[in-house]
Amino acid sequence: MKRLLAWIGVTALIFLLIAALAPGLLAPADPLAINPTQSFRAPSFDHLFGTDESGRDIYTRVIHGTGASLLIGVSATAIGIGLALVFGLLAGLGPRWLDFGTTRFLEVLFAFPGLLLALLFIVVYGPGVITSTIAVGLATAPGYARIIRSRVLVVRRAPYLEAAAVLGRGWWFRLWRHLLPNVAGSLFVLVTLGIGQSIVWASSLSYLGLGAVPPAAEWGAMLSAGRTYLASFWWMTFFPGLFIMISAVASTLVGRGLQERNRDS
């Protein structure tokens, strides 16, 4: 059962990657082509997901939006993990006062729960795709940093590091060849779980009008545009939301699968 779920996740992820890298294969039409005579059409064989206020085909737009939306998720996660790695390594490897300082600093960041840190960042640097991506990365960093720090603390006491020190290996060698690869194993799980979360957060910001803006074919922006027509034309918000969910579920299933495998071995 668990294996099956993980494979469903992998399949969905491959589908999303194809949509991101070669959207033309799945949806040959132009995502920006408007056709006012065909506006607000309900889902049908001609328009699988219906059309929007300018008669643009929503299926085509959702497929072409995959790249942008995944890129936002991946970049936000990369920013979050990158920052967390710096803090986690400083705290886990540095002298005691550095660990103390970093941990206190993370504690302060934890007092801005959830979206708050992201909103604070946006109020300083203004809304937009780039700022909202950085904001999501920043907001997720403290959580990752705490996990990385505890992992580093476990690994640095491992017997193989002691052995490497006894053999006279240098500090850099031990860091690059022993410590980082062992921390990276758990990082991989964090990244796969995190990408789904980042997409969800970034799309929430777009939905609130603080991220990507219409008419870009990005899921959050499409949702934000469809919000006005929610009561009469549900398909405008339903399908972009469905794809956000599919990517978040896929990343969660794959992440959980990896977690299980790490635990077993």
Partner 1 sequence: MAFVLWAVATVTFFAIRLIPGDPAEAILGGPGSQASAAALAQARADYGLDQPLFVQYLHYLGRMLRGDLGTSYALKQPVLAVVGENLGGTLLLAVVSLIVAAAIALALAAWSAQGGRVASGVSWLLEVIAAAVPHFWLAISLILLFSTTLGWLPPVSVPGPIGLVLPILTLALPLSGFLAQVMRESILDAIASPFVLAARTRGEGSGGVFWRHALRHAAIPAIGLAGWAFGSLISGAVVVETIFARPGLGRSLLTAVQQRDVPLVLGVVLVVALGYMLVTTLTDLADRLVDPRLRAS
Is residue 120 part of the contact set for partner 1 (CB under 8 A)? Answer: yes
Is residue 10 part of the contact set for partner 1 (CB under 8 A)? Answer: no
How many residues form the binding site for partner 1 (CB under 8 A)? 40
For the segment 34-93, give every residue that binds partner 1 (CB under 8 A). none
CB nearer to partner 1: pick between 145 and 183: 145
Binding mask 98-117 for partner 1 (x = CB under 8 A): ------xx-xx-xxxxxxx-
List the one residue from 237, 254, 257, 258 that touches partner 1 (CB under 8 A).
237
Give the 3-state secondary structure of the chain.
Answer: CHHHHHHHHHHHHHHHHHHHHCHHHHCCCCCCCCCHHHCCCCCCCCCCCCECCCCCEHHHHHHHHHHHHHHHHHHHHHHHHHHHHHHHHHHHHCCHHHHHHHHHHHHHHHCCCCHHHHHHHHHHHCCCHHHHHHHHHHHHHHHHHHHHHHHHHHHHCCHHHHHHHHCCCCHHHHHHHHHHHHHHHHHHHHHHHHHHHHHHHHHHHHHCCCCCCCCCCCHHHHHHHHHHHCCCCCHHHHHHHHHHHHHHHHHHHHHHHHHHHHHHC
Q: How far is the CB of 241 from partner 1 (least distance, A)?
A: 4
Is residue 170 part of the contact set for partner 1 (CB under 8 A)? Answer: no
Query: Which of 152, 214, 225 has the alpha carbon at shortest distance from 186?
Result: 152
Query: Which of 254, 244, 248 has the alpha carbon at shortest distance from 66?
Result: 244
CB nearer to partner 1: pick between 100 and 173: 100
List the one residue from 76, 122, 152, 183 that touches partner 1 (CB under 8 A).
122
CB nearer to partner 1: pick between 15 and 105: 105
List the one residue from 49, 59, 207, 239 that touches partner 1 (CB under 8 A).
207
Q: How far is the CB of 243 from partner 1 (least distance, A)?
A: 11
Is residue 263 part of the contact set for partner 1 (CB under 8 A)? Answer: no
Q: Are 66 and 23 in contact (CB under 8 A)?
A: yes
List the one residue from 210, 217, 222, 254 that touches partner 1 (CB under 8 A).
210
CB nearer to partner 1: pick between 99 and 161: 99
List the one residue from 4, 25, 98, 123 that touches partner 1 (CB under 8 A).
123
| Cα(210)–Cα(128) distance, integer angstroms | 6
Is residue 249 part of the contact set for partner 1 (CB under 8 A)? Answer: yes
> Where do contacts with partner 1 occur on this chain (CB under 8 A)?
104-105, 107-108, 110-116, 119-120, 122-127, 196-197, 200, 203-204, 207-210, 223, 230-231, 234, 237-238, 241, 244-245, 248-249, 252
